[in-house]
């Protein structure tokens, strides 16, 4: 029996070595291909970014099925965070000019009025623009409130490097701080309003958005203090505390995963949660569960539930062992292009696991809790809750197995990456062939960040260490205004008029908890509501009569609230 066990372990070790060797080869070939692919998609000189202004990132050169020849604030910010990390850590010192072009381009986009509003009336929530820096005016899922948070995080990282190197104080104060402050103020004032998620499909609350907004305000408060803006910093910290409190609400304790979106009618098992964990990774925070650090028990439990949800939905995963890596996508109910694995989602799982390994190595131990037990038992069925030091055999067994698990996800992407290293958005769930937008810039960035984590790299702390979740959330935090809604509506006996809309104060489109208007001045029905200031808010009136609900006709009503004071909105039932 002992001999057969040793033989099995030896076989596993040989298999792991072979897999790591093949992943080594993939990383060696794909690293330069991903870097070149990323740079090719940045104007004005990128070989696939013809027509893009300087510093503008095109999502993909694809112009049909789908047309991604636009610049998304989210994608661009994640791409340039990757570039800025490479520059500020000395990995590539040639990138500074490109970074300066990016900050200039983004300052122009901030001031470009668009369907979401102007710079002072919600326009910073606009998700995408034309590559010549003009507004995209077509219908779209707007607003998307992760962009300003991600953009400020990227630019703060660069600004901190400039301050630390003593060669850009004036530039930071006069050029970068105004850009950063606009984004941070937007986050501060709008974090508690509904948003389209990063897949641009659901208008509710999004775990990814809340997590990156929290990071932005924490990092922003420290930066504001560094540039002498302590009064501003206090406001950011107040809202960061509220965000941290709200972040906890996404955790589903009974099922052991993060419910990534609060609306949309699907499970909430979503790559959104894994991406949030890696993009708010702070090695100084250890395995903190409040910020869902990659090695936290909640993040690991969530990772298992998320990965397992794809084991039976893609044909290419059939026959793979239940504790081995599989292809993963956005969420198991996905129907976009018939629902397929995404390269960036696969890379993200690997990156979370590598980040966890980095942190355990730094700590010199790992902890198994009742929450993370199922995750660890994938690799050692006999493991029990407890803390295992780095000198223990359990620690060695678990970390070696988890490293092999992470390698497996890179091996999947390696298997389905074309020989030229090109990364599309998706690959076919049955054949593995590349699908959707070719040369997706975000796919290339995700490869580079996963490879960096594999090599043990970490980047500057953003202040996640030592945070305490407030005992009570303030869901209406941030500047607010008083809005009186009047609607002219005739009704029959027993019928009442209600209002619901796109922010929590208007019940997030829920007809069940919609707010009752007063009929004291019938046929004018009225209500006064406290709403977030400087925010574009959509709403509708509904009729209720003995349980029957009738909505107003489309389109939604819309109001942009002022920065302060009170306002009255007069409507007629449609």
Indicate the pTM of the whole model. Answer: 0.82
Q: What pLDDT is stored for residue 224 in this prediction? A: 96
Please check whether residue 181 lies inside any domain of the structure. Answer: yes
Please check whether residue 337 lies inside any domain of the structure. Answer: yes
Ligand-binding annotation for 360, yes or no, is no
Percentage of the chain exceeding pLDDT 70: 94
Give residue-wise pLDDT tens across range 9-26: 455 455 566 677 899 999
Task: Give the residue from 222, 252, 282 where a domain finishes.
Answer: 252
Catalytically active residues, by annotation: 197, 200
How far from chain centre, in Å, is Cα 55?
Answer: 22
Backbone torsions φ then ψ of 557, nearest 5 degrees: -70, 155
Q: What pLDDT is stored for residue 529 in this prediction? A: 81
Mean pLDDT of 309-335: 97
The verdict on 226 and 308 lying in the same domain is no
Q: What is the CATH number of the domain that holds 536?
A: 2.60.40.10
Mean pLDDT of 342-365: 98
Domain limits at 544?
480-572
Q: 341: burial class by Cβ within 10 Å (0-12, 13-18, 19+)?
A: buried
Least confident of 23-27, 37-41, 73-77, 165-169: 165-169
Mean pLDDT of 142-166: 96
pLDDT over threshold 60, residue 2: no
Q: Which two tokens stand for residue 268?
A: 């909430």
The verdict on 390 and 520 lying in the same domain is no
Peptide bond preceding 523 in cis form (omega within 30 of 0): yes
Please check whether residue 207 lies inside any domain of the structure. Answer: yes
Instruction: Tell me how many domains the chain contains.
Output: 3
Instruction: Compute the distance between CA of residue 153 and CA of residue 63 in angstroms, rounded to an integer.
Output: 30
Return mean pLDDT, the chain: 93
Please check whether residue 372 lies inside any domain of the structure. Answer: yes
pLDDT over threshold 90, residue 363: yes
Q: What pLDDT is stored for residue 5 in this prediction? A: 45
Instruction: Compute the distance between CA of residue 22 and CA of residue 28 in angstroms, rounded to an integer.
Output: 10
Mean pLDDT of 389-405: 97
CA atoms within 13 A on the CB side of 372: 24
Give residue-wise pLDDT tens across range 479-535: 567 788 999 999 999 999 999 998 888 988 889 888 999 998 999 999 988 787 767
Instruction: Compute the distance between CA of residue 80 and CA of residue 448 in angstroms, rounded to an integer.
Output: 12
pLDDT over threshold 80, residue 77: yes
Give residue-wise pLDDT tens across range 238-278: 999 999 999 999 999 999 999 998 888 889 999 999 999 99
Q: What pLDDT is stored for residue 17 in this prediction? A: 62
The verdict on 451 and 505 lying in the same domain is no
The verdict on 244 and 358 lying in the same domain is no
Q: What is the CATH number of the domain that holds 228?
A: 1.50.10.10
The verdict on 91 and 224 lying in the same domain is yes
The verdict on 87 and 208 lying in the same domain is yes
Instruction: Compute the distance between CA of residue 574 and CA of residue 560 in angstroms, rounded to an integer.
Output: 20
Structure letter (DSSP) for residue 44: T
The verdict on 53 and 200 lying in the same domain is yes
The verdict on 422 and 494 lying in the same domain is no
373/476: higher pLDDT:
373
Please check whether residue 290 lies inside any domain of the structure. Answer: no
Torsional sign, CA 323, 324, 329, 333: negative
pLDDT over threshold 80, residue 167: no
Q: Name the range with the highest mean pLDDT among 295-309, 461-475, 527-541.
A: 295-309
Please check whether residue 367 lies inside any domain of the structure. Answer: yes
pLDDT over threshold 50, residue 476: no
Please check whether residue 286 lies inside any domain of the structure. Answer: no
- Under the banding of pLDDT at 50, 70 and 90, the label for residue 390 is very high
Instruction: Compute the distance between CA of residue 461 and CA of residue 452 in angstroms, rounded to an integer.
Output: 16
Please check whether residue 133 lies inside any domain of the structure. Answer: yes
Instruction: Compute the distance between CA of residue 494 and CA of residue 492 in angstroms, rounded to an integer.
Output: 6
The verdict on 349 and 246 lying in the same domain is no
- Under the banding of pLDDT at 50, 70 and 90, the label for residue 7 is low
Give residue-wise pLDDT tens across range 411-449: 999 999 999 999 999 999 999 999 999 999 999 999 999
């Amino acid at each position: 029996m002992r001999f057969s066990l040793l033989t099995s372990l030896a076989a596993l070790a040989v298999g792991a070595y072979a897999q790591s060797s093949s992943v080594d080869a993939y990383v060696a070939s794909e690293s330069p291909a991903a870097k070149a692919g990323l740079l090719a998609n940045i104007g004005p000189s990128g070989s696939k970014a013809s027509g893009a202004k300087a510093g503008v990132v095109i999502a993909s050169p694809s112009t049909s099925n789908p047309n991604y020849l636009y610049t998304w604030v989210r994608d661009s910010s994640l791409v340039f965070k990757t570039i800025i990390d490479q520059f500020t850590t000395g990995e590539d010192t040639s990138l500074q000019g490109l970074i300066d072009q990016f900050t200039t381009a983004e300052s122009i986009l901030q001031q470009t009025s668009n369907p979401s509003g102007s710079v002072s009336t919600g326009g910073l929530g606009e998700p995408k623009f034309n590559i010549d820096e003009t507004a995209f005016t077509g219908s779209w899922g707007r607003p998307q409130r992760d962009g300003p948070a991600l953009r400020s995080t990227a630019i703060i990282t660069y600004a901190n490097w400039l301050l630390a190197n003593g060669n850009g104080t004036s530039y930071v104060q006069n050029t970068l701080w105004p850009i950063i402050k606009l984004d941070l103020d937007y986050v501060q004032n709008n974090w508690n309003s509904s948003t389209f998620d990063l897949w641009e499909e659901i208008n509710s609350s999004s775990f990814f958005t809340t997590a990156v907004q929290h990071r932005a305000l924490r990092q922003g408060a420290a930066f504001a203090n560094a540039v002498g803006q302590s009064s501003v910093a206090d406001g950011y910290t107040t809202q960061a505390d509220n965000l941290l409190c709200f972040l906890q609400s996404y955790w589903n304790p009974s099922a052991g995963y993060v419910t990534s979106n609060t609306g949309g009618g699907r499970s909430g098992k979503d790559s959104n949660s894994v991406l949030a964990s890696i993009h708010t990774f702070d090695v100084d925070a250890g395995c903190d569960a409040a910020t869902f650090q990659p090695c936290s028990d909640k993040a690991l439990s969530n990772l298992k539930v998320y990965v397992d949800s794809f084991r039976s939905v893609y044909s290419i995963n059939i026959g793979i062992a239940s504790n081995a890596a599989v292809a993963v996508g956005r969420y198991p109910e996905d129907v976009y292009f018939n629902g397929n694995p995404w390269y960036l989602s696969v890379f993200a799982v690997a990156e979370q696991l590598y980040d966890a390994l980095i942190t355990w190595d730094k700590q010199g131990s790992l902890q198994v809790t009742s929450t993370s037990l199922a995750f660890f038992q994938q690799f050692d069925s006999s493991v029990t809750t407890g803390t295992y030091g780095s000198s223990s055999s359990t620690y060695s067994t678990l970390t070696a197995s988890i490293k092999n698990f992470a390698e497996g996800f890179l091996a999947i992407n390696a298997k389905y990456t074309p020989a030229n290293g090109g990364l599309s958005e998706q690959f076919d769930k049955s054949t593995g062939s590349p699908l959707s937008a070719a040369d997706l810039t975000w796919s290339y960035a995700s490869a580079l960040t996963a490879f960096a984590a594999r090599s043990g790299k970490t980047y500057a702390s953003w202040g996640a260490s030592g945070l305490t979740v407030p005992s009570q959330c303030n869901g209406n935090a941030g500047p607010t205004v008083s809005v009186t809604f009047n609607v002219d509506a005739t009704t029959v006996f027993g019928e009442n008029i209600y209002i619901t809309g796109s922010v929590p104060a208007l019940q997030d489109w829920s007809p069940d908890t919609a707010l009752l208007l007063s009929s004291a001045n019938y046929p004018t029905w009225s209500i006064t509501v406290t709403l977030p200031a400087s925010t574009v808010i959509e709403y509708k009136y509904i009729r209720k009569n003995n349980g029957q609900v009738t909505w107003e006709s489309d389109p939604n009503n819309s109001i942009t609230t002022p920065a302060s004071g009170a306002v009255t909105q007069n409507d007629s039932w449609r």
